[in-house]
Structure 1
Amino acid sequence: MQANLAVGHRITTILKVLQIPRSTYYQWLSRQPSQRELENQRITDLGYDIWLSSNKVYGYKRIHVALKRQGLTVGVKRVWRLMKAIQAQSIMRRRFRKPVTQVLYAQRPNLVKHFDDMSGIWVADVTYIQMPGGSHLYLGMVFDPEARKVLSHKVSTVRDGQFVADILTDALKHHDAPRYLHTDMGSEYTSSTFDEVMQKHQIRHSYSKKRASV
């Protein structure tokens, strides 16, 4: 296509129809972007890459934090404006219904509730993670509150006794067994599979209240 043509028409004809002076058009051709525009483009490109890397879960606030970690000094309102312009918005739904679990055993006492000394006590928990497209994952972990350290963790699409038993078994491979393990009353922690691991290592089980269904 010749330089003076655009979509099959002469540029002079297009400018005449649009009532744009030729001088304005040639000024636009030779115009150089300002420093502000170049910065905006860089922020937009980096922010878009961060958004895609998060599976489109990050909103402008998290993108802003990620940009700062990369050494980019930029205001949060500016990030919001640029991300909104390219529709890079979080698709994470804030409210969702968790799968309901059934408690298999009667409630056991909270043995560690009044302990001042947390040595020899571990805590286990499972977190529900909503993913894009309506899917979900479970993040389970065993935590040492005295050392403030995660001893083992695992991600799965299934939350059951074997899932949490594997996490506890992995922690016991690298650490001495605690006196107590504290969990909630979820069915995975009241399962016979998990209880077998507890009994094998002579760990006393402490329970908090049953998780409320959402």
Structure 2
Amino acid sequence: MNETHGWSISQLCRIAEVSRDGYYKWISRKPSQRQKEQDELYKVILELARKHHWTLGYLAMTTQLKFEGRLSFSAGLKRVINCMRKHGLKANIRRKQHNRIQRQEEYVNGNLLHEQFNRESKNEVWVTDTTEVVYGEHTLHKARVHVILDLHGRYALSYNISDTETSEAVVETFNRTFKVEPDAHPMVHTDRGSAYCSGMFNDYLTGKNCRHSMSHPGHPWENSPMERWWNDFKLI
């Protein structure tokens, strides 16, 4: 007779109000396909979180999983959120402080790129974005870094550093790029930040015969090459 700390299996089953057959089926059961996928998802998420120094939030993690293709199944944003919340995983970064004053977006264009990131020729599509960096040892300072990538080769064409994110700073970044590529007329893909929605910037692109494509709000994977570039940049 099997015993556990002086108690027989039959006695324990009666106390728990379960049958012996049910108990033995429970201890011999195999994990379901769903559970195997959840275990695999958690393992890969944990590895990526450590690799990127806990800087990946829900959206960035979903984008990174899709980019690396390490899962044997497809995991969407909702599934990633549930897994990370269940295991207490979250990005160790400060949230952006948004200006609560409602701003007027003068130009809002659709996503013309449609995640077609593989390009055979240079200057077909440029993607761009800006991010905040903090520097200094005793006294911390903040700055905005603006970068433009060519999807052909995924390399940086130019950069600019400014105190804040402004239309002027974005235009200056493009001016530097057109000095290197004066005959280029690429599609330009951005998010819907205020500088990219400004009339100044859109008039500038029109003057350069460039089409402007925009990611949808809350869809960072629509500009995933730029997101991956920032991830690598911040690890340096």
* Structure having the larger proportion of residues in helix: 2
Q: TM-score, normalised by structure 1?
A: 0.50
Larger Rg: 1
